Chain A
Amino acid sequence: DQQVKQNSPSLSVQEGRISILNCDYTNSMFDYFLWYKKYPAEGPTFLISISSIKDKNEDGRFTVFLNKSAKHLSLHIVPSQPGDSAVYFCAETSGSRLTFGEGTQLTVNP
Chain B
Amino acid sequence: EAQVTQNPRYLITVTGKKLTVTCSQNMNHEYMSWYRQDPGLGLRQIYYSMNVEVTDKGDVPEGYKVSRKEKRNFPLILESPSPNQTSLYFCASSTYSGPDNEQFFGPGTRLTVL
Measured CB to CB, the residues of A under 8 A from B are: 4, 6, 9, 31-32, 34, 41-46, 49, 51, 89, 91, 93-103
Asked whether, in the complex, the Cβ of B31 is within 8 Å of the Cβ of A96, the reply is yes
Contacts of B4 in A (CB 8 A): 43
In the complex, the answer to whether A49 meets B100 with C-beta atoms within 8 Å is yes
- Tell me if B's interface is mostly helix, strand, loop or mixed: strand
Q: In the complex, what residues of A have CB within 8 A of residue B105's CB?
A: 43-45
27 residue pairs bridging A and B, Cβ less than 8 Å apart: A31-B99, A32-B99, A32-B100, A34-B100, A34-B102, A41-B107, A41-B108, A43-B4, A43-B90, A43-B107, A43-B108, A46-B102, A46-B103, A46-B104, A51-B100, A93-B100, A95-B99, A96-B31, A96-B48, A96-B99, A98-B33, A98-B103, A99-B45, A100-B42, A101-B42, A102-B41, A102-B42
The number of residues on chain B lying at the interface, defined by a beta carbon within 8 Å of a beta carbon of chain A, is 27
